[in-house]
């Protein structure tokens, strides 16, 4: 069963093995401890966080403008 993505990268990028997740992309930490550490550092935020919602909205608007 796939894990539910609950976080978004809000600062910089995160490398997990060969996979790199950049600002504005959804991210699933490998463990609860890793998630807590990254949240404390300000690297990721819960999707329910207002900052995360603004980033998602901004990414959607940028994609719409590129399509035009």
DSSP secondary structure string, 1-68? -PPPP-EEE-SSEEEETTEEEETTSEE--SSHHHHHHHHHHTSEEETTSHHHHHHHHHHHHHHHHHH-
Indicate if the pLDDT at residue 5 is higher than 60. Answer: yes
With 70 as the cut, is the pLDDT of residue 35 above it?
Answer: yes
Q: Tell me the per-residue pLDDT of 14-26, one tens digit each, with 9 for 90 and over.
A: 998 999 999 989 9
For position 63, what pLDDT does the model report?
60
Question: Does pTM surpass 0.75?
Answer: no
Q: Would the CA dihedral through 43, 52, 19, 16 be positive or negative?
A: positive
């Amino acid at each position: 069963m796939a894990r539910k993505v609950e976080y978004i990268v809000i600062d910089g990028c995160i490398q997990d093995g060969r996979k790199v997740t950049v600002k504005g992309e959804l991210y699933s930490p490998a463990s609860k401890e890793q998630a807590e550490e990254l949240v404390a550092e300000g690297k990721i935020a819960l999707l329910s966080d207002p900052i995360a919602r603004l980033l998602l909205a901004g990414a959607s608007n940028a994609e719409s403008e590129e399509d035009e």
